[in-house]
Amino acid sequence: MMRVLTAALAIASGIIVLLGYFLRQVFPLFEQLRLLLTDWAVVIAAAAVLVGILNLVTVQMDKLRARQPGGLYGALMVFALVVTFGLGLVFGTDHTFLRAAMDAVIAPVEASLLAILAVTLVYASIRLLRRRTDLMSVIFLVAMLLFLIAAMPKPFGPLPLVDQLILDLTSLLSTAGARGLLIGVALGTLLTGLRVLFGMDRPYGGN
């Protein structure tokens, strides 16, 4: 019974939203319903993020309680979370404390993690031909190098014609490939969405 109800709810919600998309001119009610349901979905999605964070805390607390390896790091994480969340609740998200949290912790650490990648990617590129020497690997590597060489800042400025030719060529090929990929992704999205609307896929726990 519960499966039927949840499936019916999901299918009905989706159909209403679809009707709101394509019949908004004919039936404005569907458009209003679509916006209403979308608004609900925004709230529910926000709550879902919150549930995810609570689950993260639960897992880390269990890890600490079980004295598993890395439990102290989990405690540090929970402590930082609670402190930040408490400051945000008390002082609001626009307060200096929260802004300091962003400037001092979130942005530096996250950017540093990405910065490490600059070295790691070079290392991986060097090892690429050691692992795979097929034609596609070579094409991949050559396209990357050509694009970097053509686009990189040079002490003497861009090479006339050469850089632009390479950029145009790589842009043409990459745009064509990217368009095919985007269309493929859209097709996949369409198919996945239809499967949900037809009740064939029930990722909401209806199975």
Q: Name the 3-class secondary structure at 122.
A: helix
By CB under 8 A, the count of residues binding other proteins is 144
Min CB(65)–other proteins separation in Å: 16
Residue closer to other proteins, measured from CB, 119 or 161: 119
Min CB(173)–other proteins separation in Å: 4
Token pair for residue 157?
A: 């400025």
Report the Cα–Cα distance between both ends of the chain, in Å, rounded.
11
Cα–Cα dist 13/186, whole Å: 21
Which one among 149, 159, 165, 200 touches other proteins, defined by CB under 8 A? 149
Min CB(175)–other proteins separation in Å: 5
What residues between 86 and 125 interact with other proteins by CB under 8 A?
Answer: 86-89, 92-94, 96-123, 125
Which one among 4, 26, 68, 127 touches other proteins, defined by CB under 8 A? 127
Min CB(67)–other proteins separation in Å: 17
Which one among 26, 29, 142, 165 touches other proteins, defined by CB under 8 A? 142
Cα–Cα dist 24/33, whole Å: 10
Min CB(14)–other proteins separation in Å: 4
- Cβ contacts of residue 199 below 8 Å, gap of 6+? 7, 10, 11, 206
Cα–Cα dist 146/152, whole Å: 10
- Cβ contacts of residue 18 below 8 Å, gap of 6+? 197
What residues between 4 and 23 interact with other proteins by CB under 8 A?
Answer: 5-7, 9-18, 21-22
Min CB(68)–other proteins separation in Å: 14
3-state helix, strand, coil in the chain (%, to 5): 80, 0, 20
- Radius of gyration, alpha carbons of the chain: 25
Answer for the pair 13, 205: CB distance below 8 angstroms, yes or no. Answer: no
What residues between 26 and 85 interact with other proteins by CB under 8 A?
Answer: 31, 34-51, 53-56, 58, 70, 73-74, 76-85
Residue closer to other proteins, measured from CB, 66 or 120: 120
